[in-house]
A and B are shown apart, each in its own frame.
Chain A
Amino acid sequence: MKFAIFICSHGRPECITVKALRDAGYTGDIFIVLDDEDETHFEYNVHENENTHILTFDKEWYVQHMDIGVSTVRAKRKVILYAKQACEDFANANDLDVFGIADDDFLGFRYRYEEDGRLKSVTVSENLDEVFNCYAQFLVHNWLCMTSVATNQMFMGGALTPEKISEFRVPYSFVFRNTHIPFEWKSELFEDVISATLKTQQGFFMMQMPFMQLNLKPLYAGANGGMTDAYQSVDFIKKLFPVVQYLPSCTKIATTASSVSYRLIRDNAFPKLLSEKHKKYVEK
């Protein structure tokens, strides 16, 4: 099975995800995907070696050809949407079966497991290849469109959390895509939720994996890099508008004391997965 990981990056030549993956035992190909507007492009060369490569895509082409949900590119073009679609195209061009799309700020990986009624963890030190192999086999053999590694925030809640995580139908942060099922990323903001929900409504199953935790840099006020600028560059109405625009029948805008956010109503968003035993093969 042909597999590789694409790391979408922009302006962060340290690209710490490369180290996080290698430290956890990933030995396969890594492609750092950069747009041709990245001024720090040459600083990424330090990562290049036999298994780590740099790919550059024509951002303007993707801006012109993708469904970004708005008529003007307002979020400073600094969004991950274009890079994600470029990863799809690179994966197809290289005849990959499954590929991972990662951000450039991953700190490391930990296994999560239940022991004595408590949720415990241990650092992944050397068998990440096998984990990715398992995920890839699961996707291809069962015709799944996409899955993902759960992030550290998702494990807050104790021993029952892993069971809950497997019910989540929107993979995000570190996703694994089955190349045999074509996928189109949409919307300049919230592209993960919007694209995954729309594809699921066409009958393609997706889920999150609860076995391993992805450690992300903690978010804090004034954090730099990534898509922080893009989300901060628009007010909350404009920011949340794409979710309502693409998914009007299953989202609600919710207000709290300090912020406004969207809520995806899962029962209105995702068709249920049913066992074949419920299917009738003969008329009564």
Chain B
Amino acid sequence: MNQLFDDDTAKVNPMGGDRKYSRAVRVPQYEPSTDKPDIHSLYNVEKYNRLVARIKKSSVSEEEKKFLLFAASRHIVFTYSRIADYYANSEKEMQELMEESALVILDMDDAIANGYVALSEKMQQLIDEEKERDAKAREADKIMREQMALAEQKEREAKEAKKVANKKKKKKEEELENFMAEPEVDDEQND
């Protein structure tokens, strides 16, 4: 297996650096509201409650009911933007419990956001290199096409000149043939 990549890309904080390309960079972090939403608005249990009511009314065994009640929780709808808003406005203990349940994903030390900015800048550099290569290739292609066009033009002109020369030669040959074909004048008769 190849050791294709070097490990020398240091973890830098690119936020303090040049943000030349910042317009194209959208850090994928959610910016929570400063208002703490009502906790009941974080989830919707409409379907869950319907299922629970049916399970409880049913005649299945207690063990089966227990299982079905666990399974019914899959139908609880969580609204993660409100959950994030709630998290940002909660106290330490609540936040820790929410983190443990993966109700939010915490970007420690803003590593993902910063890493993404660094990645964007590196990608922009690669794109610029490719654009330069592409421009050079296009320029070379243009020069080659021009040279080819010039060569074709010269070839056409040479062909044309040859054609004209051949025509002239043919004309001369015809004239010579005509001259040779003319009847000879009898000098004696004229006398």
Instruction: Tell me whether B32 and A274 are in contact (CB under 8 A).
Output: yes
How far is the CB of B8 from the nearest CB of chain A, in Å?
10
Tell me the dominant secondary structure on chain B's binding face. Answer: helix
Q: Could you give, for residues 116-134 of chain B, a 1 whenever the CB lies within 8 Å of some chain A CB and a 0 otherwise?
A: 1001101110110111011
Across the interface, A271 reaches (CB within 8 A) one of B75, B102, B126, namely: B102
Nearest CB on B from A151, distance (A):
17
Chain B nearest CB from A7 CB (Å) reads 16
Instruction: Tell yes or no: A89 within 8 A of B by CB.
Output: no
B residues 75-93 in Cβ contact with A at 8 Å: 75-81, 83-84, 87-88, 90-93
How many residues in B have their beta carbons less than 8 Å from beta carbons of A? 60
Known: A271-B105, A275-B110, A283-B93. A249 touches B78 (CB 8 A): yes
Q: How close is B165's CB to chain A, nearest CB, in angstroms? A: 48
Residue among B11, B107, B130, B137 making CB contact with A275, cutoff 8 Å: B107
Q: Are B105 and A272 in contact (CB under 8 A)?
A: yes
A residues within 8 A CB of B92? 280-284
A274 touches B84 (CB 8 A): yes
Between A126, A204, A278, the greatest number of chain B beta carbons within 10 A of the residue's beta carbon is seen for A278
- Quick check: B133 and A138 within 8 Å, CB to CB? no
> A133-B5, A134-B122, A207-B28 are known contacts. Are A125 and B133 too (CB-CB below 8 A)?
yes
B191 interface residue (CB < 8 Å to A):
no
- A111 in the interface, Cβ–Cβ < 8 Å? yes
Per a CB cutoff under 8 Å, which of A51, A132, A207, A271 touches B104? A271
Residue count of chain A within 8 Å CB distance of chain B: 68
List, in ascending order, chain A residues with CB within 8 A of B120's CB: 211
Q: How far is the CB of A275 from the nearest CB of chain B, in Å?
A: 5
Chain A residues with CB under 8 Å of B187's CB are: none
User: By the criterion CB–CB under 8 Å, are B2 and A122 in contact?
Assistant: no
Inter-subunit contact B105/A273 (CB<8 Å): yes
Which A residues are closer than 8 A to B by beta carbons? 1-4, 27-29, 51, 94-96, 111, 113-114, 122-127, 129-138, 141-144, 162-163, 166-167, 200-205, 207, 211-212, 248-250, 267-284
Interface residues of B (CB under 8 A from A): 1-7, 9, 11, 23-24, 26, 28-30, 32, 74-81, 83-84, 87-88, 90-93, 95, 102-113, 115-116, 119-120, 122-124, 126-127, 129-131, 133-134, 137
